[in-house]
Each structure stands twice: as C-alpha cells, then as structure tokens.
Amino acid sequence: MAAMPALLSGFAPIWILTAIGYAAGRSGLLGAQAESVLGRFVFHVAMPAALFTMVSGSRPAAFAHPSMAAFAAGTALVTALGYAVGRRYFGRERAEAAVGGMASGYVNSANLGIPVAVHVLGDASFVAQVILFQVLLVSPVILTLLDSGTQGGGPAGGGLRRMLTMPVRNPVIMASLLGVAVSAVGLRLPAAVTHSCDVLGAAAVPTALITLGLSLHGGPADGTAGTDRAGADRAWAEGTGRVTGRVEVGVVVALKTLVQPLVAFAVAGPLLHLPDHQVLAVVLCSALPTAQNAYIYARQYGLDTGLARHSVVASTLVSMVTLSIAAWTLGPSR
C-alpha cells in the first residue's frame, strides 16, 4: 500500500518519544517530579508559543471552505457524544467528561497529521485549517468546561467572572487570541521575537510525548491520587470506578477512529458532494488519533489522566489500520 510508508513515518516519532519518556520514568532518570514539571512547561510555555506562532501567521477566513464544514460536523458530533457518554454512562463530572469529549474528537493534527497529509495528500494546507479550527474553536470550549468544572461551586457572579476572565488566566487561549490579533492587523513582529517563539514552540510536541511516556509508568502523578496501585488494577479490570476502565477507553477510541471519520465522510460525500480529493482529506484528518493535548489538559487541571492517556495510545495504534483503510479506499488509486 503506497500510503503505508507515510503512515509509518508519521507514527514513528510518537512511539519513539513516548517510549523514551516511559524508559526515563521507569529508570527514575528525571526525578519524581518530572511529569508534573514537564506538563506545566508544555501547558504554560511551549504550547502557547507554538500556538501563537501558528495562528499569527495564518488566515482564519479559511474556515469558510465546505471541507471544513464537513470536518467540523464530525468533530462537533463526536465530541458531544464523548462528553454525553462520559456523563451519563460512566459517571464523570463535567470536567472529566470534557476530557472524554476531547479524547473522542480532538485529532492529532500537528505531529501526525502534517506528515500524513504531505505524503498521502501531497500538501498540508487542509491540515493547517484543521489545526486552526481546533485551536481557535474547539480548545476554548473544552477549556471553558474544564475551568468551570474544576473551579465551580461558588456564587453565580463568581462563575461568570471566572468564565469572562479565563482568556487572561489561560495561556493557551491567550496565546491564540494574541495570534488572531496579530494576524488581523497584519502586524509584522521582529525576527528575534518570531524566531524565539519558533524555537520554544518546537519543544511543545516532543515534550508532551515525553510527558505522556512518563505517565505510562504510573506512580503518584498519574492522575489517580488517593487510589493505591492494587485498587487501580482492580478498577481497570472491572471497567468501573474512578480509574479508567477498558470499556470507557474502548468507547472513546471507537468514537475517535471509526465514528468521527464515518460522519465526516457522510457529510463530505453524500451530503455536500465534495470532490474526491477533498473527501479524502476530510476523512483522513478525521481518522487521526487522539492528540496528546487531551492528556496535557487533564494533567494541568488535576483530573484523572487515565482516560486521556490510554485513549492517546490505543487510538494511535488503531488509527494505523483505519488511516490505511481510508487512504486505500478513497485514494486516487482505488
């Protein structure tokens, strides 16, 4: 299959860097607080720099393209389903259900989507639109749910005040908004500033993957505070309790790797009648696995990281098959 080398080249950094993080965690090389420190570095420093660089040099008007409507439809439906299933069937509170929704519909568009798009589609222009869509529209919604779900409970005015001031308090949203402002006014920043942001932002993805690998080794920082290892193993085996069970991960991975691309195909093909190459782009991007951002967000907000962590790993493995099938059935050689 012609697309297989591209898929393997895209997946290789994910597995290698995650494995390095796991090995570092298992050996204790980086110390007991490595996962916590690196997670904060990604969320507060590297990721905002990467998002600012990306958004400030883009044109958000590209969202008006019909292809984006098809991708957005699949993302919105699956994210909402992931959130609703977590709330109704797995007893998740609002914030943890938001992580489930993100794990169900937020695609790994950067470090996996770009190489796959370049090799399979021939260019990464649609992936760039997907990245902006997730950064500017999906992330703020998820982060609002996380913020309100972890800080709520006060008076109504306080909750409204927190929501209105969240862009100022959240570095991811603030960096995105600053990027939009720079793009809108056509401001050209000094080369020293842009280069510094580029260098810093380049650390976001590899550090996030190292942090993800550290979390796979387990320990107190794995998001299961208050649950001993034996209890965690029992909860995993039973699929119940505060620790993520196989059933919940299976549902999230099915939504991510099967339902989302199928919805995108239905909208792009039978409904909007887009050209074949656009249908392929929409389905491929929708079939990408869960982004490690879901784990980073859960980690930052002090939530159970099990669902995000296992969804990233499992969906990445499953998507090697689903992406290959999509490229084979919808590609020009079919």
Q: What is the C-alpha separation between 137 and 315, in angstroms, rounded?
A: 23
* Pair 261, 286: CB distance under 8 Å: yes
Amino acid, single-letter form, for residue 188? R
307 φ, ψ (degrees, to nearest 5): -60, -50
Instruction: Tell me the two tokens of residue 92.
Output: 């998740």
* Pair 302, 150: CB distance under 8 Å: yes
Amino acid, single-letter form, for residue 83? Y
3-state class of 316 per DSSP?
helix
107 φ, ψ (degrees, to nearest 5): -90, 155
290 φ, ψ (degrees, to nearest 5): -60, 135
* Pair 305, 290: CB distance under 8 Å: no
Residue ranges and CATH numbers for the domains of the chain are 4-330 (1.20.1530.20)
**Burial code of 204-228, b = ≥16 C-beta within 10 A, e = fewer?**
bbbbbbbbbbbbbbbeebbbbeebe
* Pair 242, 260: CB distance under 8 Å: no
Alpha helices in the chain (DSSP H): 4-27, 34-41, 47-56, 66-89, 94-105, 113-116, 125-133, 139-151, 156-169, 171-185, 191-201, 204-216, 229-238, 246-254, 260-266, 276-286, 293-300, 306-330
* Pair 313, 246: CB distance under 8 Å: no
pLDDT of the residue at 111: 65
Q: What is the C-alpha separation between 11 and 16, in angstroms, rounded?
A: 9
pLDDT of the residue at 282: 95
pLDDT of the residue at 332: 66
Written as tens digits, the pLDDT of the chain (334 aa) is 455 665 667 678 888 888 999 999 999 999 988 988 998 898 889 888 988 888 887 776 666 778 999 999 999 999 999 999 999 999 899 999 999 999 999 998 876 787 677 667 777 678 878 888 888 889 888 988 888 877 643 333 445 565 556 666 778 888 888 888 888 888 888 999 999 999 998 898 889 889 888 888 754 444 443 334 344 444 443 443 444 588 999 999 999 999 999 999 999 999 999 999 999 999 999 999 999 889 999 988 889 889 999 999 999 889 888 988 888 888 765 5
pLDDT of the residue at 4: 61
Instruction: Tell me the two tokens of residue 248.
Output: 């919940």
Q: What is the C-alpha separation between 196 and 107, in angstroms, rounded?
A: 27
pLDDT of the residue at 209: 87
Region of residue 170 (phi > 0: left; psi between -120 and 50: alpha; otherwise: beta)? beta
pLDDT of the residue at 281: 92
Q: Indicate the pTM of the whole model.
A: 0.75
* Pair 271, 216: CB distance under 8 Å: no
Q: What is the C-alpha separation between 259 and 32, in angstroms, rounded?
A: 39
What is the DSSP-derived secondary structure letter of residue 254? H
